[in-house]
Structure 1
Amino acid sequence: MHLSIYEYLFLFFMIFLAGFVDSIAGGGGLISLPAYLFLGIPSHNALATNKLSSSIGSIFSTFRYAKERYVVFEIGIISAIFSFLGSFFGARLALLISDSYLKVIISVLIVFAGAFMLMNKRKKVISKIPKTSFKKKFFISSFIGFIIGMYDGFFGPGTGTFLIIMYTSFLSFDSISASATAKIVNLSSNISALIAFLINGKVLFHIGLPAAFFGILGNWIGSGIAIKKGDKIIKPIVLVILFLVVFKSLRELI
């Protein structure tokens, strides 16, 4: 599949925007995946290529958060291991569904994931390291990693946001530490799903690799911006994207 220069420019801007948003509060997939689908890329290829560009971009925001010591590795590594396993299973499940049905499922999930993201009010707490027993932390972090990882492998958008919500709700992370730790887990699940898609030859490298460069820029810039200020920018953007996705889905059904 080949894109025109204007389609590439559109995609590059959207991937930059997705990386910027995702590095702050998650949900970048609500922008990047619809962008791939909007250009007429088949659902399986869109999911696979989105994993390629988002994985590469996430490496840089993860590095920046880790460098500033916001990542809680004790929790992140456990979640990342189980996220890797869950994501591979989720991606394999997605590959079993026909492209036409998968497109409908993706459209519905995008709307619900976006609505959940917009309505959720994350609580602000001051604890960075959860003060619970290792056994409890292991159980919670592994459960979160596997379930969210499976969701990420099957679909993806909103994964980072859901991880942040889980960490702040069940392990009392502050928002910045939750976002930073979520990056490691999200990166692990992205790579796992990407491997599954690579095995099945679904990744469009001639589209995903150039797009990844702009994802890197977005992730690097976004990770340097405070989450509190970022939320004010993110929600209006997601609303616009959701409107476009719903409009496009309804137009195809009529």
Structure 2
Amino acid sequence: MEILNISSELATFLFVAALFAGFLDTLAGGGGLITLPALMMAGVPPMGALATNKLQASMGTATSALMMLRHGRVKWKVVNCLIIVAFIGAVVGALLVQIINTDMLEVIIPVALCITGIYFLLTPTKNEENKQPKLSSVSYQKYIVPAIGVYDGILGPGTGSFFTLAGRVCRAQTFLQATATAKILNCATNIGSLFVFLFFGQILWSIGIIMMVGQSVGAWIASHCLFRISIIYLRILVVIMCTAMLIRYVSH
């Protein structure tokens, strides 16, 4: 897509939406719940909105991922292979969305969001370290991570929450470990999808660049808050975002 001129009011609206989304996405996931509707309200067609959303979301997740790695919250040797398969999965998903009917997601996504929200609402926070992984690291890398990557390439909202849930359930990660790792993997899936949308030329650059700045600022602020906020409050925020996304999909 070509670069378009936009009003200062619209630019401000999209910047603030992206900033808020970057903040929430870093803490709990679900930033797409804010940015995709904002792009649609700005008059961007569906495929353009999806592509531009990937551009701006990539900056937010890259910022938070860099902070996680820089401060040692996630070890590179633990996630390097996961990053590759997440990236590949997202590329496959972004290619599929160009040719397939995505109506089935209207059923799958609400169910997945409901399960995620209920899990974080009901599971206890004590004795997190004592749980045993339900899936081997090899199976997790071969099936779960690329599957979530494919979903992110096709649509995206809730990907961070799904990665967090997968880390908790499949690999017995603590809540903070799962959340921090989710930022790295979500960054990989966003970039993988972005490459495909760049190839097809579907990005609206004028809007995307403005939102990239907002995402970066929001993610930077949230990255400094993530390990200072009580786990209870983070879990509540995840449940709220999952519920909000669920309501949106059901009402849509």
Per the normalisation by structure 2, the TM-score is 0.82
**Alignment pair present for 1:118 and 2:122:** no
1:40-119 paired onto structure 2 within 5 Å: 40-97=43-100, 114-119=113-118
RMSD between aligned residues: 2.9
For 2:249 and 2:13, the matched residues in 1 are separated by 15
Does the Cα contact within 8 Å between 1:34 and 1:245 map onto a contact in 2?
no
Does the Cα contact within 8 Å between 1:114 and 1:242 map onto a contact in 2?
yes
* Residues 166 and 221 of structure 1, relative CA distance in 2, 3 Å threshold: same
Superposed CA offset, 1:196-224 (max 9, x none):
00000001111011111110111111122
Structure 1 unaligned segments of length 5 or more: list them.
Answer: 250-254
For 1:138 and 1:237, the matched residues in 2 are separated by 30
**Alignment pair present for 1:6 and 2:9:** yes
For 2:76 and 2:68, the matched residues in 1 are separated by 11
Greater shift, 236-245 or 14-23, is seen at: 236-245
1:159 is matched with 159
For 1:43 and 1:106, the matched residues in 2 are separated by 15
Superposed CA offset, 1:143-201 (max 9, x none):
22210100010011111110110111111111111111111211111111100000000
Cα shift at 1:138: 2.2
1:252 is matched with none
Cα shift at 1:106: 7.0
2:129 is matched with 127
* Residues 210 and 108 of structure 1, relative CA distance in 2, 3 Å threshold: farther
Cα shift at 1:29: 1.5
How high is the sequence identity, in percent, across the aligned residues? 32
Superposed CA offset, 1:74-132 (max 9, x none):
442222111111111100111124xxx66x6777676556544433325535439x987
Aligned length: 241
* Residues 72 and 138 of structure 1, relative CA distance in 2, 3 Å threshold: farther
2:220 is matched with 220
Cα shift at 1:2: 4.9
Write the letter of the residue equivalent to 1:198.
Answer: L
Structure 2 unaligned segments of length 5 or more: list them.
Answer: none
Does the Cα contact within 8 Å between 1:113 and 1:158 map onto a contact in 2?
no
